[in-house]
Amino acid sequence: MKHLLIPFTFAASFGTAAMAADLDAVIDNYADIAQAGYEDSLSRAQVLKTAVDALVAAPGDATLQAAKDAWLAARVPYQQTEAYRFGNPQVDAWEGKVNAWPLDEGLIDYVDPLAGGNDENPFATANVIANPQLALNGGTLDAGKITPDLLRELHELDGVEANVAAGYHAIEFLLWGQDLNGTGPGAGARPASDYDTANCTGGHCDRRADYLRAATDLLVSDLQDAVALWAEGGAARAEVSEDPEQGLVMALVGLGSLSFGEMAGDRMKLGLLLHDPEEEHDCFSDNTHNSHYYDGIGIRNVYTGRYERIDGSVVEGPSLQDVIAERDPALADNLMSDITDTVTALSAIKTTAEGGMAYDQMLDPGNHAGGALIQTAIDGLTAQTRNIERAIALLGPNGSGEGVEFK
Amino acid sequence: MKRILLLLTAVLMAATASAQEGAYSPDSGLPYWAPGRGEVDHEALRRRALVVLEREFGAFNDATGHLAQTAVAYCDAGAPREDLIAAFRDTWLAWAPLDSYHFGPVEANAAALTVNFWPDKKGFVGRALRELLAQPPEAQRDPATVAAGSAAAQGLPALEMLLYTEAPECPAVIGISAYLHQTAETLYADWFDPDGWADLARAAGPNNPVYLSAAEFTKTLYTALDFGLIRIADQRLGRPLGSYERSYPQRAEAWRSGLTVDIIGAQLDGIADMIEHGFAGDIREPDRAWVLQVIGQARSRMDKIGAPIADAVADPAHRIRVEGLQTKVNDIRSVMAQDIGPNLGVDTGFSPADGD
């Protein structure tokens, strides 16, 4: 599905005016759900910012817990928007700012000396919080004042993807700290005193607080950009609306790429094979079960054209499912049933994690039941990808999906 | 332009004539179908493609078997180290063409990761190997120990680290090689034993759990070749190339053993093999000849780099040749997308390259 630019494009090739109108409505609803999802993500990030300010103003167990809760709540709408990532180049280009992963967290702050190094990354233990000056390719990088601009500069420093200086996972690390429990129980256990300038643990508490606030501010402003991409006149909305047929294919490409290459592959299979909790998506907070689950829900939202917002209201309208059902009812049903199976499998992981067996414990090579739960979800994601491919072949211009440009 | 059109017309007419005169051979797919006939014999294509795949998976199985025996001979009976190095090289080059086919048994067994854990962005191979080497010697030589551990210590990069660093080779090299051979046997059996993936592909049809038609298997193969080309251009070449200001020599695959370029060559050969002997006459002769010619051009650019990839990317004079190779590999993708896909009536599906 990674296409090179081919020097010709297909004109819209089928459909009456009435059908074209229906497709427009499907695309409008697709974009409306995106806009609502990013608005919800933004409003939860603003709540997180308030909680972070409270933590920094009065560090303590209660304010730290409140900030963690706000972070967990912020993930719920955001993960559902991941269904928009891979099919929409505007989103894909933006996404690394907020959800880059995995990270060499030693770039940001102190880490356990045995659990932070990376031969491929000279900055894996650079520890910006402790070091106002960083040596960089013979020169120095001034990190004296920690600002959103500095974090942008540090992001993917030296071309290394694992140098994640900002986004949800950087904030997660600053709130929870490293999870040093391996595949045993327990998440990261950063003490609130890491932010207490009067009784500072971990060193440089003032700079750590600056870092946390800068990262949260940056998240808020990046999410404002995402909302703008999908608002009326936004670039991402314009791109899917321009040719609704191509928009449909872009939507399906987003679902398939997230299902297969990203979730089933990078995020789930790899951790299972390495038995390495470093490879779980929300590794500091042990929130991986929710991240995977809400990705699955996000896929279902896009397919069924229905999104339940954080305030309980619902955005809904004509859907991809409706378009597919018009042309191949059996395929529409099969894909719905695949997506339902996957959500069920992801839900089983979530329930089990909430019952006390965290996702990283499921990666223990001796935990066959946990491994099987993850494998079932991987199998479901792989199976739905096949029917998503068929839907693309069905809906693409000339019914072949040919000539679609993305990536 | 007019001359080209005339020539093309002549070719088309000749093609039509030969399709009418000569009996069509399903084995070779020749003479090729007349253009405009609008049909590809996906069942014949599948039959030929499975022959190619069976040969390649068989070769990997044989190479790993030999490697496992050589490791024992080296560690236990003092056989020459060159034999082990040669067997290691042969195994990696036998795997290279299979790197394109990340579906079916390779996916089910996660073999792309266990056989060749690369790229290793966070030092997993070294960490996993340290854990294996901390085990008692008897455990290190037992493939069951390797099977129970991290995927990063189950394949070729782990063997390479043993053979090309100061790490003690024996007896871990025995355990990893034996496990690699088990993996190769499993892959071959899962593909070609009765009721294996080959039979599943042969049974393509409305009730098949994976392939609703023979054309869907063709699409899978076509996607796989495109994926192989992405792996070469974006990862095998792109990762070490980085940018002009900053290259990453140690991101080259197999930089320690210097096999980087040979692996790329073997993967390109595998892609050419599938086009020539698998797709064969079900793509039109001029298109097939052209894509094979472009692959040959990539091959010759590769031969002219004149230095190991890891060194070449960091040296301005050689770097430009690596970039030239990368451009040519992307050209192959374009030719495939313009000529081969439409010829077969398929487009690429999803592949592991769609993640990030």
- The yes-or-no verdict on residue A407 having pLDDT over 60 is no
Mean pLDDT calculated for residue range A158-179: 95
B348 touches chain A (CB under 8 A): yes
Q: What span, in angstroms and rounded, lies between the C-alpha atoms of B35 and B282? A: 10
Taking only residues 103 to 142 of chain A, the set having a beta carbon closer than 8 angstroms to any beta carbon of chain B reads 104, 117-120, 137
Fold of B44-202: A middle domain of Talin 1 (1.20.1420)
> 3-state DSSP call for residue B269?
helix
Q: What is the pLDDT of residues B322-331, one digit of tens each?
A: 999 999 999 9
Q: Per DSSP, what are the bridge partners of residue A135?
A: A140
- The yes-or-no verdict on residue A393 having pLDDT over 80 is yes
To test the contact with chain A by mutation, choose from B106, B122, B230, B250 the residue with the greatest count of A C-beta atoms within 10 A, namely: B122
User: CB–CB of B230 and A388 under 8 A?
Assistant: no
Q: Give domain status of residue A91, yes or no.
A: yes
B355 touches chain A (CB under 8 A): yes
Residue B227 near residue B76 (C-beta atoms within 8 A)? no
B289 touches chain A (CB under 8 A): no
Of B240 and B29, the one with more pLDDT: B240
A102 touches chain B (CB under 8 A): yes
- The yes-or-no verdict on residue A12 having pLDDT over 50 is no
- The yes-or-no verdict on residue A21 having pLDDT over 90 is no
Q: What span, in angstroms and rounded, lies between the C-alpha atoms of B281 and B29? A: 4
Residue A236 near residue A230 (C-beta atoms within 8 A)? yes
Q: From the CA atom positions of chain B, what is the Rg in Å?
A: 22
Q: Give domain status of residue A123, yes or no.
A: no
Burial, A283: exposed, middle or buried (Cβ in 10 Å; 0-12, 13-18, 19+)? buried
User: CB–CB of B354 and A4 under 8 A?
Assistant: no
B333 touches chain A (CB under 8 A): yes
Q: What span, in angstroms and rounded, lies between the C-alpha atoms of A322 and A115? A: 49
A21 touches chain B (CB under 8 A): no
Q: Residue B280 region, left (φ>0) first, then alpha (ψ -120 to 50), else beta?
A: left
Mean pLDDT calculated for residue range B265-277: 98
Mean pLDDT calculated for residue range B329-345: 95
Mean pLDDT calculated for residue range B114-128: 92
Q: Give domain status of residue A107, yes or no.
A: no
Q: What is the pLDDT of residues B280-318, one digit of tens each?
A: 989 988 999 999 999 999 999 999 999 999 999 999 999
**Residue at A247: amino acid letter:** G
Task: Name which of A162, A392, A402 is nearest B122 (Cβ-Cβ).
Answer: A162
User: For residue A10, what pLDDT is reported?
Assistant: 39
A331 touches chain B (CB under 8 A): no
Site of tokens 């299972």: A272
Q: Into how many domains does chain A fold?
A: 1
Split at pLDDT 50, 70, 90, the class of B4 is very low
User: CB–CB of A262 and B248 under 8 A?
Assistant: no
Residue A193 near residue A59 (C-beta atoms within 8 A)? yes
Phi then psi for residue A290, to 5 deg, are: -75, -40
- The yes-or-no verdict on residue B14 having pLDDT over 70 is no
Q: What span, in angstroms and rounded, lies between the C-alpha atoms of B102 and B228? A: 9
In percent, how much of chain A has pLDDT > 70? Answer: 92
User: CB–CB of B350 and A385 under 8 A?
Assistant: yes
User: Nearest C-alpha of chain A: how many angstroms from B335?
Assistant: 10
Q: Give domain status of residue A307, yes or no.
A: yes
Q: What angle do CA A255, A257, A259 make, to 5 degrees?
A: 65
Q: What span, in angstroms and rounded, lies between the C-alpha atoms of B87 and B92? A: 9
Query: Smallest Cα–Cα separation from A218: which of A170, A285, A174?
Result: A170
User: For residue A139, what pLDDT is reported?
Assistant: 85
Q: What span, in angstroms and rounded, lies between the C-alpha atoms of A124 and A107? A: 5
- The yes-or-no verdict on residue A350 having pLDDT over 70 is yes
Site of tokens 């019952």: A355
Q: What is the pLDDT of residues A103-141, one digit of tens each?
A: 999 999 999 877 767 778 889 999 999 999 998 877 899
Task: Name which of B110, B337, B356 is nearest A269 (Cβ-Cβ).
Answer: B110
Residues from chain B that touch A385, judged by Cβ atoms under 8 A, are 350
Taking only residues 256 to 275 of chain A, the set having a beta carbon closer than 8 angstroms to any beta carbon of chain B reads 256-257, 259-262, 265-266, 269-270, 273-275
- pTM here is 0.89
Q: Give domain status of residue A155, yes or no.
A: no
DSSP string covering A302-365: HHHTEEE-TTS-EEE-S-HHHHHHHH-HHHHHHHHHHHHHHHHHHHHHHHHHHTT--HHHHTST
User: For residue B38, what pLDDT is reported?
Assistant: 62
Q: What is the CATH number of the domain that holds A390?
A: 1.20.1420.20
User: For residue B35, what pLDDT is reported?
Assistant: 52
Q: Average per-residue pLDDT in chain B?
A: 91
Q: What span, in angstroms and rounded, lies between the C-alpha atoms of A347 and A368? A: 18
- The yes-or-no verdict on residue A293 having pLDDT over 60 is yes
A397 touches chain B (CB under 8 A): no
Mean pLDDT calculated for residue range B214-228: 97
User: For residue B334, what pLDDT is reported?
Assistant: 97
User: Nearest C-alpha of chain A: how many angstroms from B330?
Assistant: 8
DSSP string covering B162-196: HHHSSS--TTHHHHHHHHHHHHHHHHHHHHHSTTS
Q: Give domain status of residue A286, yes or no.
A: yes
Q: What span, in angstroms and rounded, lies between the C-alpha atoms of B242 and B309? A: 12
User: For residue A7, what pLDDT is reported?
Assistant: 39
User: CB–CB of B248 and A390 under 8 A?
Assistant: no
Q: Where are the domains of chain B?
A: 1-39, 44-202, 214-345
Residues from chain A that touch B161, judged by Cβ atoms under 8 A, are none
Burial, B315: exposed, middle or buried (Cβ in 10 Å; 0-12, 13-18, 19+)? middle
Residue A76 is part of which domain span?
17-100+166-399
